[in-house]
Amino acid sequence: MKRYTYLGTSDEVTTCDCCGKSELKSTVAISDDEQGETLYFGSTCAAKALKVQLADVKRGTAAADRAKEEAKRAAQEVLYRAEMVRWKAYLVEKTGGLYDFKGELCIFSMCQALGGFKAAREGYTPWAA
């Protein structure tokens, strides 16, 4: 079982927990799975502490950063889709539902029926508001 897990880079913590060097551009965030704590190292200290090459640290943190970004995008997509369901339901409630030539709800037509997009949005309150 691995003891350490790369969590990615951090701009919030700029001091190395190993050597104490401060004002780093960023640190490598590593989870110590045995101790249950997060450690922040400069990349060189991270390589020494983990007994790996610097390139391995960079690959591990880059992969963790990509995974965080993908998770963030996926969460935003879920919220976007939920908001679109609410928006369509609102338009259907106000217009009775207008359909395109394929038989699917047509947001454009429903907005036009309400006097345009701006007029349609006036009575709608999005979740993020």
Q: Which residues contact 107 (CB under 8 A, 6 or more apart)?
A: 87, 88, 91
pTM reported for the whole predicted model = 0.71
SS3 readout for 6-19? EEEEECCCCCCCCC
Instruction: Give pLDDT, residue 128.
Output: 60
Q: How do the pLDDT tens digits run along the chain, 129 residues long?
A: 478 899 999 999 999 999 999 999 999 999 988 888 999 999 999 999 889 999 999 999 999 999 999 999 999 999 999 999 999 999 999 999 999 999 999 999 999 999 999 999 998 988 764
Q: Which residues contact 122 (CB under 8 A, 6 or more apart)?
A: none
Work out the number of other CB atoms within 10 angstroms of the CB of residue 58: 16
Look at phi and psi of residue 2 and say left if phi exceeds 0, alpha if psi is from -120 to 50, else beta: beta
- Structural domain boundaries in the chain: 4-122
